[in-house]
Amino acid sequence: MTTAELFREDGYLRSCEATVIEIHENNIVLDQTVFYPEGGGQPGDTGTLIRAGGERVPIEDTCKATESGLHYHVTNPEAPLPNPGERVTLEIDWLRRYRLMRMHSCMHMLCAVIPAPVTGGSIHEGRGRLDFDLPEPIDKAEVTTKLQQLIEADHPMRLSWITDEELAQQPDLVRTMSVQPPVGIGRVRLVHFEGVDLQPCGGTHVASSAEIGKVRVRKIEKKGKKNRRIIVELDDG
């Protein structure tokens, strides 16, 4: 049994109707969802599950169970849990999600600015970092300027899908050395910022680079002999 992940096709969906399939302690499994589960460096969504009578159940995290692959909507142990078979409404914390979308897309722009393999990374609300396999130092001001120019050029984003076999035949598409592409279901989603960046990714993204807005490179750190860590923040004033 798998949960239909509506956000894979449309990251702008804020709510949906769903049916409760299973309850595992304070973890709720649904037939479909707009909640992104933690993965690929992006945190899981938070928000609210609304029962038919209007009772609101806080969703404090979303994740996938490692062994079963079940999509868990995590609430607190004291929350009023729905029953299997119950119809509910899901609403994500959109302001938080949209900032995560902007930052995740910003990390793709950063990949285009730095032509080196990615050795690690993480995304938070309003802040992200990527580690690059770079032996030589790089200039923070130059990276900031190039990154902002790419963002402001308003490159549209589009999604496409290829098979696991097609991805295996195109290893250059994979930029990240530390995180494997989302394979295993027979097809892999590609995120393409036209003219800038193309790589497999399961995360949520903005429709065009200009939506990322203004950013700043907060710090570039040396992390080991050949590693440079670049930390970027959204600059929303």
Q: Which domains does the chain have, with CATH numbers?
A: 10-92 (2.40.30.130), 97-234 (3.30.980.10)
Q: How high is the pLDDT of residue 143?
A: 95
Q: How high is the pLDDT of residue 184?
A: 57
Q: How high is the pLDDT of residue 175?
A: 66
Picking from 91, 108, 92, the residue whose alpha carbon sits closest to that of residue 212 is 108
pLDDT tens string 148-192: 999 999 999 999 888 877 777 777 777 665 556 565 567 888 899
Q: How high is the pLDDT of residue 177?
A: 54
pLDDT tens string 145-155: 999 999 999 99
Low-confidence ranges of the chain (pLDDT < 50): none
Q: How high is the pLDDT of residue 180?
A: 60
Q: How high is the pLDDT of residue 237?
A: 73
Q: How high is the pLDDT of residue 102?
A: 98
Picking from 219, 213, 194, 197, the residue whose alpha carbon sits closest to that of residue 143 is 219
Q: How high is the pLDDT of residue 183?
A: 53
What sign does the CA torsion over 218, 224, 226, 227 have? negative
pTM above 0.85, yes or no: yes
In angstroms, the CA 132 to CA 164 distance is 25
State which amino acid sits at residue 87: R
Dihedral in degrees, nearest 10, Cα atoms 204, 206, 208, 209? -90
Is residue 36 within 8 A of residue 204, CB to CB? The reply is yes
**Beta-strand runs (E) in the chain:** 4-5, 15-24, 27-30, 32-33, 47-50, 56-59, 61-64, 71-74, 87-92, 118-124, 127-133, 157-163, 187-193, 197-200, 215-222, 227-234
Residue 219 CA: distances (Å) to CA of 20, 27, 231, 232: 44, 38, 5, 7
In angstroms, the CA 217 to CA 140 distance is 7
